[in-house]
């Protein structure tokens, strides 16, 4: 899972979420995840996704990903996770996972990437895999 952008406000943010969800009864998903691509550099036998890598709609566009993030933000979701396939293989034109994580970190308390771990963790933020690093491309 990769860090957040509003670190000083996370407690307030979660308190606000709690009030809206528990006190006001709003149906807000705390966490949402979506698949960026079915492509994967591995081919695990039990996995259906890599077999669908050439299907229509097996790959989300940048515009659709931003639209999905906007919709989740509107609903009040606090945590998003990008999945695959292998999300580090996702790219749409000049846009890549690094840029998508940067965008998401502006709007969500936490941003996570579910990866098979075979690529360098080149995304902004802190990596919670027992090591801490910050990508060189961070602003
Ligand atoms: S690494 Fe994950 S996405 Fe890739 S083939 Fe294996 S289970 Fe499927």
pLDDT class of 9 with cuts at 50, 70, 90 = confident
pLDDT digits (tens, 9 = 90+) for 26-62: 999 999 999 999 999 999 999 999 999 999 889 999 9
> Please, what is the end-to-end C-alpha distance for the chain in angstroms?
19
**Which of 36, 51, 52, 85 has the most ligand 1 atoms within 8 A of CB, as the residue to mutate?**
85
Q: How far apart are CA 87 and CA 35, in angstroms?
A: 8
CA neighbor of 96 nearest in space, from 59, 127, 129: 59
Per-residue model confidence as pLDDT tens digits over 61-92:
999 999 999 999 999 999 999 999 999 999 99
Ligand 1 pocket at CB < 6 A: 40, 42-44, 47, 49-50, 84-86, 116
Contact 122, 76 (CB under 8 A): no
For residue 105, the CA-to-ligand 1 centroid distance in Å is 25
Please give the Cα distance from 80 to 97 (Å, whole number): 13
pTM over 0.75: yes
């Amino acid at each position: 899972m990769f860090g957040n952008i509003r670190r000083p406000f996370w407690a307030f943010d979660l308190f606000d979420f709690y009030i809206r969800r528990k006190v006001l009864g709003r149906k807000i998903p705390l966490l949402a995840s979506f698949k960026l691509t079915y492509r994967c550099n591995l081919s695990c036998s039990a996995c259906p996704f890599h077999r669908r890598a050439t299907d229509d709609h097996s790959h989300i566009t940048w515009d659709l990903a931003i639209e999905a993030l906007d919709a989740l933000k509107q609903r009040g979701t606090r945590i998003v996770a990008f999945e695959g396939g292998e999300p580090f293989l996702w790219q749409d034109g000049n846009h890549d996972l690094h840029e998508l994580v940067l965008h998401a970190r502006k709007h969500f308390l936490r941003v996570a990437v579910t990866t098979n771990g075979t690529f360098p963790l080149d995304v902004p933020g802190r990596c919670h895999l027992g090591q801490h690093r910050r990508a060189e491309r961070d602003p």
